[in-house]
A and B are shown apart, each in its own frame.
Chain A
Amino acid sequence: MTGVDTATGLSAATWQRLRTGDLGVLPVAVVLVLIGLVFQALNPHFLSADNLVNLTQQSAATGVIALGVVLTLHVGQIDLSVGAVSGLAAAVVAVGSVQLGWPLWLAVLAALAVGVLVGSIYAALHTRLAVPSFVFTLAGLLVITGLQMRVLGPTGSVNLPFEWWLVRFCQTAFLAPATSWVIVALVVAGYAAGRVTDRVRRERAGLPVAPLWQVVARVVALAAGLSLVVAYLGTNRGVGAVFALFVGLVALTDLMLRRTRWGRSVRAVGGDAEAARKAGVPVRRVFVSAFVACSTLAALGGVLAVGRLAAANQGSGAGDTNLTAIAAAVIGGTSLFGGRGSAWSALVGILVVQSISTGLTLLNLDQSARLVVTGLVLAVAVTIDALQRRAREA
């Protein structure tokens, strides 16, 4: 298992992990870098700080929706109505606050409540009646799109004033440089402390530990990576508040998936729901939590989208939002077959999709090219997912 393939320079063990998908989001992150380099070669503006700041800001809303999709995919289900839910949430925020005169925070809470409600209905349909999720979420897509039109009324479009906090948060709020650096320092320190504590406890328990240089290398790599991003984006407007919120949600979800009892149940249910039930996992509650979290994150994505556009209309959440979010989760490496993936796939996946979209726009190619290329990338991602599954079962 230690032989090295001279052609690729990969060790057999690494190749095996790549083939079975055990390397996680790393391969996709490499692809993301390659996409960046290719577009940079074609258009020197692509990797400019200005463009990257725009790219991150544009990723946030759909990325939050993709994060919800990652959760439903984890339990082996799918929600095809996330775009519609985000559109309905956007409509609720705009109509509630502008036309009905609710305080903005109340309108936002109402929109999130819509997400919770939709997710609860899906969960009930799945756990009580065992209806396949792709069917009832497809039905939900139609129903919710209809509701969105009804909420928006005959004009079909509602604008938000630019001075409102939601619009400012999503459009013009950036972390102050000092704040960014404090966050970087805290994250790196927290990560290092966690790694070291873990290592000490494992040593005391007599368990095998990774060599110290590996721990140091990981901490240094994290610090360097974060510093690079913050410093480079800082040469332009900096790290957007809405992007920071998105990354924060991804990190939190990742922690919950990997290091909490809930996260373990989610992966177990996605892997084998019947085995999980026999082991004493509250399978029904796990499904409820996944569907509710997915719809609520979709609603939050809609709230962020209405802030970013300063408007809600019949196009909010329609068209490619749905498929972009689902594509991002799959491209990021979360398996369609359940039980495998990572919260980080939402971040990496949406950055891949958004990079392709931005890059093609910079090359003066229109939406048609964008749809074709994104579709092809998704097809490749799904094929890889299926091949990895076969390799794991072999």
Chain B
Amino acid sequence: MTAPILALRGVSKSYGAARALVDVDLQVHAHEVVAVIGDNGAGKSTLVGALTGALVPDEGEVLVDGSPVTLSDPSVARGLGIAAVFQDLALCANLDVVENLYLGHEAQRGLLLDEVTMEKHAWELLNQLAARVPSVRVPVAALSGGQRQAVAIARSLLGEPRVIVLDEPTAALGLRQTAEFLTLVERLRERGHGVLLTSHSLADVQAVADRIVVLRLGRTNGEFDAAKTSYEELLAAVTGIQR
């Protein structure tokens, strides 16, 4: 197998006395959906932070294409082809859809913003995702949870990233929106992206993931091939119950 696009080696992170991650290893390859599952407080969000530059681990290495990197900032991670969709979606509610999509990397025409190009591309992108947004010029505050998620995912695709990291993408979605989202993840894999998503919904994860990594109390508690693992095995690994 080729070298992973993105990997963690021996990563630890503490918040004061609380150890959020302890000696975690992880790999994400191209054309692969990796799911990280775990109960609340297992360290999933911290893991996502370490992968996307939102926080810097206390120990261990982040590797991109096999070389160690320091992701000091989300923009550094994005520069290396790692895009993030955070659990809180990280959208500015007072800005409209186009403004949010391009925030931090706006298209310019001379010194001024190129609104026409941005708006056109925004429609194309949202249509690709089959996202139903009433207008790209309404503030995000006026959109539903599913629509906001579509905007956040569309934003992560803008820089044609190699890896997309999704933190709890289905937590705020209804049943139909979740189904649409899972189809979308498959589309991302077909396009050749590596996808890492965290969840505590085992059913969602089994439907879409190739490989499942279980986190428990900050430590890796097993890595499973999604096709060959039963729901009960996963549940046992997540909860730590011995069978």
Report if B183 contacts A (CB, 8 A).
no
Residues A198 and B103 in contact in the complex (CB < 8 Å), given A268-B95, A271-B92, A278-B84: no
B61-97 interface bits toward A, Cβ cutoff 8 Å, 1 = contact, 0 = none? 0000000000001110010000010101111111100
Is the CB–CB distance between B90 and A267 below 8 Å? no
Is the CB–CB distance between A261 and B108 below 8 Å? yes
Is the CB–CB distance between A278 and B93 below 8 Å? no
Is the CB–CB distance between A278 and B120 below 8 Å? no
- Minimum C-beta distance from A223 to chain B (A): 23
Residues A205 and B117 in contact in the complex (CB < 8 Å), given A280-B74, A281-B103: yes
B82-125 interface bits toward A, Cβ cutoff 8 Å, 1 = contact, 0 = none? 00101011111111000110011110100111011101100100
A271 to B141: give the CA distance in the assembly, Å.
11
- Minimum C-beta distance from B152 to chain A (A): 10
Give A392's nearest chain B residue, CB to CB. B141
Report if A366 contacts B (CB, 8 A).
no
Is the CB–CB distance between B93 and A281 below 8 Å? no
Residues A280 and B105 in contact in the complex (CB < 8 Å), given A268-B92, A271-B95, A274-B90: yes
- Minimum C-beta distance from A386 to chain B (A): 15
Report if B54 contacts A (CB, 8 A).
yes
- Minimum C-beta distance from B126 to chain A (A): 13
Interface residues of B in 9-49 (CB under 8 A from A): none
Residues of B contacting A255 in the complex (Cβ-Cβ under 8 angstroms): 112
Interface residues of A in 254-271 (CB under 8 A from B): 255, 259-261, 264-265, 267-268, 270-271
Residues of B contacting A278 in the complex (Cβ-Cβ under 8 angstroms): 54, 74, 84, 86, 90
A339 to B86: give the CA distance in the assembly, Å.
21
The SS class assigned to the A binding surface is helix
- Minimum C-beta distance from B19 to chain A (A): 24
Residues of A contacting B141 in the complex (Cβ-Cβ under 8 angstroms): 392-393
A65 to B120: give the CA distance in the assembly, Å.
39
B129-146 interface bits toward A, Cβ cutoff 8 Å, 1 = contact, 0 = none? 000000000010100000
Is the CB–CB distance between B103 and A279 below 8 Å? yes
- Minimum C-beta distance from A333 to chain B (A): 14
- Minimum C-beta distance from A268 to chain B (A): 5
Is the CB–CB distance between B106 and A261 below 8 Å? yes
Interface residues of A in 234-278 (CB under 8 A from B): 255, 259-261, 264-265, 267-268, 270-272, 274-278
Residues A281 and B113 in contact in the complex (CB < 8 Å), given A270-B94, A274-B90: no
Report if A308 contacts B (CB, 8 A).
no
Residues of A contacting B90 in the complex (Cβ-Cβ under 8 angstroms): 272, 274-275, 278-279
Residues of B contacting A272 in the complex (Cβ-Cβ under 8 angstroms): 90-94
Give A205's nearest chain B residue, CB to CB. B120
Residues A205 and B116 in contact in the complex (CB < 8 Å), given A280-B75, A393-B141: yes
Chain A to chain B contacts (Cβ below 8 Å), 19 pairs: A205-B116, A205-B120, A261-B113, A265-B103, A267-B99, A270-B94, A272-B94, A275-B88, A275-B89, A276-B103, A276-B104, A278-B74, A278-B86, A279-B90, A280-B74, A280-B78, A281-B104, A339-B94, A392-B141
- Nearest 9 CB-CB pairs, A to B? A280-B104, A271-B94, A280-B75, A278-B90, A271-B92, A279-B103, A339-B94, A275-B90, A279-B104
Question: A residues within 8 Å of B by Cβ?
Answer: 198, 201-202, 205-207, 255, 259-261, 264-265, 267-268, 270-272, 274-281, 339-340, 392-393
- Using A271-B92, A278-B54, A278-B90 as known contacts, list a sample of 6 further A-B pairs with CB atoms less than 8 Å apart, ordered by residue number in A: A198-B116, A271-B94, A280-B75, A280-B78, A281-B103, A392-B139
